[in-house]
A = this chain, B = another copy of it.
Amino acid sequence: MPRKSSRARNLEQRQDKLQAILAAAFDLFVEKGFADTRLDEVAARAGVAKGTIYLYVPSKTALFEELIHSAISTPIEGIEAQVAASDLPLEAVLRLMFRRIRKEVLETSRRDIVRLIISEAGRFPEIAELYHREVLSRGLRLLRGIIERAAARGEIRSDELARFPQLIIAPFVVGLLWTSLFQDYEPLDVEGMLDAHVDLLMRALKTASS
C-alpha cells in the first residue's frame, strides 16, 4: 500500500483541525450560548492557538454558522429510505420512526444542535431559514408522504395529520425542551410520552372525523 502523499496528508490534517475547532465550539456554544462563549476557550479546548481559528473561519459568527451547517446533516435521508423501502402499516412506521428520532436525535448531540438553533435562531435568521429548508420542510414532506400513503391504504379516515404534520412531531419538541430545561425539577419519561402519543394518534386515526 503506497504511502499517502504529503499533500493528501495535509488535507486530512487540515480537516482534522477544523473538526477539532468545530467540536470545541460546539461544546461551548451548547454549554454557554453564542454570546458567552469565548474564542479563547474554543481555541484552548480545540488545542490550537487563538489565531488558528481564523485560518479556518473568518469570524466568531461564521464559526457558529459553519458549525450549524456542518452539524445539521439530518438523519432524514436514512429515515426516508427506510420508510420508502418498507411496506409496514402506519403504526409500525410511526413507531419505527419515533424510535429512530429518539435514538438519533434526542439521545445524541443532535439534540443540542436543535436546542442551540431554537435558542439562537432569533439572532441568526439565516440559520432559521437553513434549518427550515434542510430539516423541517423535508421532515414535514416525509410525514405527509407517510400519512398519505396510509390514507390511500384506508388506514386513516381523517385528514388532520395531513394538514398539520407538525402534530406528529410536537411531542419531540416538548421532550427536547423539557429534558434540556426542566428535567431536574420534574423528570419526563420521553419514551413513555412518545409511546402514549402514538397510541393516541392511532386510535384517533382509525376513527372518521365527525
Contact = CB atoms under 8 A, between A and B. Distances in A.
A178 B166 contact: yes
Nearest to A169: B174
A122 to B, nearest CB: 6
A198 B75 CA distance: 30
A55 interface: no
Contacts of A158: 199-200, 203
Contacts of A163: 192, 196
Interface stretch (A2-10, A12-20, A32-40, A95-103): A32-40
A186 interface: yes
Interface of A: 32-36, 115, 118-123, 128-129, 132-133, 136-137, 158, 160-161, 163-164, 166-167, 169-171, 173-174, 177-178, 180-182, 184-186, 188-189, 192-193, 196-197, 199-201, 203-207, 209-210
A163 B199 CA distance: 13
Given A132-B185, A158-B199, A196-B164, A174 B170 contact: yes
Nearest to A200: B204
Given A122-B180, A171-B167, A193-B167, A186 B35 contact: no
B200 A121 contact: no
Contacts of A207: 203-204, 206-207
7 contacts: A32-B123, A33-B122, A132-B185, A137-B185, A167-B193, A200-B204, A203-B209
Contacts of A32: 123
Given A119-B122, A199-B209, A192 B166 contact: no
